[in-house]
Chains A and B, each alone.
Chain A
Amino acid sequence: MDLYAENILDHYRHPRHKKPATRHPPFDSVHSRQPETIVHTEANLSCGDEISISLNIKDDRITEIFWDGTGCAISQAAMSMLSEELHGKTMTEIEALTPQNIYDSLGVPIGPRRAKCALLGLLTLKNTLRTHKGVDHVSWARLIALHNH
């Protein structure tokens, strides 16, 4: 099966929820109570891929997501697909996401060579929320070892 399937290339060419970091809205102006905005960046040093996520959180739920990044088609498409699933999710639900969820969204076989490409967005997302909570970041080794229950 072609790794560069049409749905992946579509997300790569037309990424959803992607905006340059400076244009992230500082808060949700519709609501009177200002939600918190958290920004976090992770990089894959071995290939230079980088993803920044900006989340607005209100009442423990994600109300807004923007991301920015550079990298290969797999890392960017995986982040774009992930971003479509996040609205209204709680922090507990994000913590429960596993690598398999990402592979299922991509729908193509991801070998060990490309696992870190596929999972950079998920790592960034989990650590954005962990930054918010003030708990230790999840490492690559821990993330890759996570399995569905």
Chain B
Amino acid sequence: MMDIDMPLDIAFIRRQFPFLRASPPPVYLDSAAMAQVPDAVLNAMTQWEHSSRANVHRGMHARAEESTIAYEAARSTVQQFLNAKHSDEIVFTKSCTEAINLVARSWGETHLQENDAIVLSMLEHHSNIVPWMQLKDRKGIDVLWMDIDENGMPRMEDLEKHLKTGRVKIVSVTALSNVLGVTPDLQKIIALAHEAGALVLLDAAQAIAHMPLDVQKLDCDFLAFSGHKLYGPTGIGVLYGKRKLLETMPPFLGGGMMIREVHTEGFTPADLPAKFEAGTPPIAEAVGLGTAMEWLVAGCRLQVANSSHASSNQQRRTGILWDDIQPHEQSLLQHATCSLQQISGLHILGPTPDSQLLTHGCVSFTLDSVHPHDLTEILGRRSIALRAGHHCCMPLHKRLGIPASTRLSVGVYTTKEEIDACVQAIVEARKKLNT
């Protein structure tokens, strides 16, 4: 048994990432866009390709059965990771974006009428804005916004005001801002929305890798995320939805696997979750995502190679794994914030220092007279990777009155030395551009 009070062995963790084994090692501070992948995930996917590659839920041969078992085991792992009540509440998609689109199209088209309203926050990523804007155009619904306060937190009074109209049918908010690193008060948003008869979708693209998300405890109606920010592969996402809601929703895409019966006059859809998984699903990627979750729960701390189909750790309650990851990432962000604040003309976006608000995952900033693209280009030439731009959050940047920002994001493998190297390089880059 591992001792959960032990700090993470970061050197041990880093050795498990091929990307970080390069020499000299890159300074990778862009995990909010794309987390790197450990050997355990790559090995599990390769093992599936080598010995189990076959289509799922189709065919009676042994490989088809193995493949189906691996795919459904991944679904169970996701169910346990989120503490969902039923495994058929877990729908595999190609991305978090597709999962949100699924809700907007399937649930939205069926349940929204003209003059209904939906609520978004100013923190949202374009993937949680555009699907609703498309719906607005088609259905004549209103999109109402929660503005943010001086700390970047969505204003509850805006939500209350919108809910009072009695027109709001769903509140779709991020569980963790990909720019400011703030977490809205999810419990309160969900309680208020439910009180007013509205559903809640959580965009957990960022939150999934930085905090426990217990869908039963939260009581959210939908939750979406993708694999590549959780140390898993690209091309896989997840939609969690309460069973009673998913059952009332029509299929999103049509094709194989999502049907019970097709005849010349029509079709009847399959049961959950197949109803929403038309076509051959991303099977290797699902296996990879399941393994990434198992790795994060236990494997990243074990000094022995973990079997790709390990199930011994599946009984662990969600939440345990965060007891050592969160303190590690918190100390990194505090160190980054303190170091960045020493740079004159650098402005950190997000909570004011006296707000006592914890941030997760990332810290974003602007630097006087230095464009984020110049900064990250110069840093990139020194193998220091940061993201620059509007981070797919144009409404938020407009609200903050800036065209773009630079984002430093951390993961389980990030070290203080990487942050120090980055801060030093920022100082030198500014000198180069402005002297």
A residues apposed to B, CB below 8 Å: 2-4, 9, 12-13, 45-50, 70-74, 113-114, 117
Majority DSSP secondary structure for residues of B touching A: helix
Contact, CB under 8 Å: A13 / B434: yes
Contact, CB under 8 Å: A72 / B432: no
Jot down 6 A-B pairs with beta carbons below 8 A, ordered by A.
A4-B378, A4-B433, A47-B371, A47-B388, A48-B403, A73-B371
Residues of B within 8 A of A72 (CB): 371, 373-374, 377
Question: Nearest chain A CB to B393's CB is how many angstroms away?
Answer: 12
Question: Would you give the 0/1 interface string for B374-403, flagging 1 where the beta carbon is closer than 8 Å to chain A?
Answer: 100110010000001110001001000011
- Select from chain A the residue with minimum beta-carbon distance to B371: A72
Residues of A within 8 A of B163 (CB): none
- Select from chain B the residue with minimum beta-carbon distance to A117: B373
Residues of B within 8 A of A71 (CB): 371
Nearest 10 CB-CB pairings of A with B: A48-B403, A72-B371, A72-B373, A48-B404, A72-B374, A73-B374, A47-B373, A47-B404, A47-B389, A71-B371
Contact, CB under 8 Å: A9 / B433: yes
Residues of B within 8 A of A48 (CB): 390, 397, 402-404
Question: Nearest chain A CB to B156's CB is how many angstroms away?
Answer: 30
Separation of A104 and B377 alpha carbons in the complex (Å): 20
Question: Nearest chain A CB to B24's CB is how many angstroms away?
Answer: 19
Separation of A2 and B374 alpha carbons in the complex (Å): 12
Residues of A within 8 A of B388 (CB): 47
- Select from chain A the residue with minimum beta-carbon distance to B434: A13
Separation of A47 and B371 alpha carbons in the complex (Å): 9
Separation of A46 and B373 alpha carbons in the complex (Å): 11
- Contacts beyond the supplied A47-B373, A48-B402: 5 A-B pairs with Cβ under 8 Å: A47-B371, A48-B404, A50-B403, A71-B371, A114-B377
Contact, CB under 8 Å: A70 / B403: yes
Majority DSSP secondary structure for residues of A touching B: loop
> A4 touches which one: B397, B402, B403, B432 (CB < 8 A)?
B432
Contact, CB under 8 Å: A12 / B389: no
Q: In B244-288, which residues have CB < 8 Å from any A CB?
A: none
Residues of A within 8 A of B371 (CB): 47, 49, 71-73
Contact, CB under 8 Å: A3 / B433: no
- Select from chain A the residue with minimum beta-carbon distance to B394: A45
Separation of A50 and B377 alpha carbons in the complex (Å): 19
A12/B377 contact (C-beta < 8 A), A46-B389, A47-B389, A47-B403 known: no
Residues of B within 8 A of A50 (CB): 403
Separation of A70 and B433 alpha carbons in the complex (Å): 15
Residues of A within 8 A of B404 (CB): 47-48
Residues of B within 8 A of A70 (CB): 403
Question: Nearest chain B CB to A6's CB is how many angstroms away?
Answer: 10
A3/B377 contact (C-beta < 8 A), A9-B433, A47-B389, A71-B371 known: yes
Contact, CB under 8 Å: B432 / A9: yes
- Select from chain B the residue with minimum beta-carbon distance to A3: B377
Separation of A73 and B374 alpha carbons in the complex (Å): 6
- Select from chain A the residue with minimum beta-carbon distance to B373: A72
Q: In B109-161, which residues have CB < 8 Å from any A CB?
A: none
Residues of A within 8 A of B434 (CB): 13
Separation of A47 and B373 alpha carbons in the complex (Å): 8
Question: Nearest chain B CB to A90's CB is how many angstroms away?
Answer: 33
Separation of A113 and B373 alpha carbons in the complex (Å): 10
Residues of B within 8 A of A74 (CB): 373-374
The listed residue with most B CB atoms (<10 A of its CB), out of A45, A47, A72, A117, is: A72
Residues of A within 8 A of B373 (CB): 47, 72, 74, 114, 117
Residues of A within 8 A of B433 (CB): 4, 9, 12, 73
Q: In B338-395, which residues have CB < 8 Å from any A CB?
A: 371-374, 377-378, 381, 388-390, 394
Separation of A72 and B434 alpha carbons in the complex (Å): 12
Question: Nearest chain B CB to A49's CB is how many angstroms away?
Answer: 8
Residues of A within 8 A of B378 (CB): 4
Separation of A117 and B389 alpha carbons in the complex (Å): 13
Separation of A24 and B389 alpha carbons in the complex (Å): 30
Question: Nearest chain A CB to B261's CB is how many angstroms away?
Answer: 46
Separation of A13 and B389 alpha carbons in the complex (Å): 22
Separation of A46 and B397 alpha carbons in the complex (Å): 12
Residues of A within 8 A of B402 (CB): 48
Separation of A67 and B374 alpha carbons in the complex (Å): 21
Residues of B within 8 A of A49 (CB): 371, 403
Separation of A87 and B402 alpha carbons in the complex (Å): 34
Contact, CB under 8 Å: A46 / B374: no
Question: Nearest chain A CB to B356's CB is how many angstroms away?
Answer: 32
Separation of A4 and B432 alpha carbons in the complex (Å): 9
Question: Nearest chain B CB to A126's CB is how many angstroms away?
Answer: 23
Separation of A72 and B372 alpha carbons in the complex (Å): 8
Residues of A within 8 A of B394 (CB): 45
- Select from chain B the residue with minimum beta-carbon distance to A73: B374
Question: Nearest chain B CB to A143's CB is how many angstroms away?
Answer: 19
Question: Nearest chain B CB to A1's CB is how many angstroms away?
Answer: 11
